Structure 1
Amino acid sequence: MTFSLDDIKKIKANLPVTINDVITGIIFLGTRLYMQDTNHELSNTESTALVLLNTRNTGSYKSIKDMTKPNAEMPWGNHFAFLHISIPNLTKTEFSNPLDFVLKAHRLIKKKRNSAIVCLTARLLESLRKFKGPETTARYIHGILKNSSMGITNLIGPVEQMALANHPISGFYFSVVGAPQSLVVTMVSYVGKLRVSVGVEKGFMDPCKFKSCIENAFQMIFKAAVQ
């Protein structure tokens, strides 16, 4: 799916939240709409989203040689943490006013993001890697993923158009493969557009219906915020 970043910024302008909060609110609302449409009785079943956060210090460009030095300021490798966010329940009030749903998601994310859990998780992963090795760390992360309902992550992409061998790139997506979750949502911005990729468990979820629910959630939130 592709959304206009300008439209998302219009939503943000009418709410005391960040762009990431708006995006996450759209995904959460779309997920609840899908659950409601699939099985109304289970529409508000307790569900947990694992939100991945980049913890790398990206103050300036560093070469690989600099990053592989002992005690480097920006060491080589992936550096991330994650937050467990309970997907808000969808009530009749929030169905008629979806902005309340975005605000609820904002409060949940802000509470977790400002806690010590982000730093502690990052240090735990780094300690596991140093003392137990990458395989033990990978098994730990796999267990965390397995015990969550869905995963969400996004990247800030280029604001100017790129080219590959002098051929302009009109757009691209990225995805996380091999995750044990039934639903993984990845997003990347590129030249004023937000491109969303969704991976679902085959035979368990209807990707076309889920896509429709996400688009419906965006329209509900956009109309409520702008009009």
Structure 2
Amino acid sequence: MVKPNAELPWGNRWAFLTIPLPKLREAGAKNPHQFVVKARQIIKRKRVSSFAVYLTAKYLQLVSKFRGAQGASKYIHDTMMNTSMGITNVMGPIEQMALASHPVKGLYFVVTGAPQSLMVGVIRYARKLRVALLVEKDFIDPRKLKSHIEHAFDLIFKAACCSRTSPLAN
């Protein structure tokens, strides 16, 4: 990353992909695998066909260049004010880290101070996927949300295991 003309340049990169989540109706509740496939299709279509992601990233670079970090952060905050949930990801280290010769067992990432009621941070650390949730106090019950997410993961896992061919492999 630190070499000149590296494939993955060093530093922060911002882009936005605003997507509507498909509604979980009776069909989705009976077949959660279809719900995941439908959500993935929407994300893939928007990511591939939307030129707005690239324009937003370039615009943020220009704003940062001319107005500084505060101008870029104001634009990001104003954009996030119009959403109810945010998901962010960070590429973490492949190998385990150590601080003062003590191995770091787990590493989580989440954006704090965002105007959303729910923030999801995803990081891959030492070849393990880590997901962290940040919820608004007195608005979302964290225990109830956790139990619903665990139940949803179980349903999706069981549906995926029962499926002969998984379209998610593409």
- TM-score interval (norm. to shorter): 0.7 to 0.9
Residue of 7, 18, 32 corresponding to 1:98: 32
Amino acid at match of 2:44: K
Contact (CA 8 Å) 2:80, 2:114: kept in 1 or not? yes
* Inter-CA distance 159–78: structure 2 relative to 1 (3 Å threshold): closer
Aligned-residue offset at 1:77: 4.2
Match for residue 174 of structure 1?
Answer: 109
Normalization by structure 1: what TM-score? 0.65
How far apart are 1:124 and its partner, in Å? Answer: 1.1
Alignment of 1:1-227 (within 5 A): 60-62=1-3, 77-114=11-48, 115-227=50-162
Whose RCO is larger (CA < 8 A, sep 6+)? 1
CA displacement at 1:73 relative to structure 2: 9.1
Equivalent pairs counted in the alignment come to: 161
Q: How big is the shift at 1:61?
A: 2.9
Alpha-carbon shift at residue 203 of structure 1 (Å):
0.7
CA deviation digits over 1:60-101, x for unaligned, max 9? 433xxx69xxxx998764222010011210010110100111
Q: Is the 8 A contact 2:2 2:9 kept in 1?
A: no
Structure 2 match to 1:30: none
Give the RMSD, CA atoms, in angstroms: 2.2
Q: Secondary structure at the match of 1:133?
A: helix
Instruction: Please give the alpha-carbon distance, in whole angstroms, between the structure 2 residues aligned to 1:182 and 1:172.
Output: 23
The aligned counterpart of 2:168 is: none
Describe the shift of the 1:223–1:122 C-alpha distance in structure 2 as closer, same or farther (beyond 3 A): same
Q: Residue 220 of structure 1: CA displacement?
A: 0.6
Supply the distance in 2 between the matched residues of 1:129 and 1:142 (Cα, whole angstroms). 14
Once residues 59 and 89 of structure 2 are traced to their aligned partners in structure 1, the CA distance between those partners, rounded to angstroms, is: 22
**Any gaps of 5 or more consecutive residues in structure 2?**
163-170
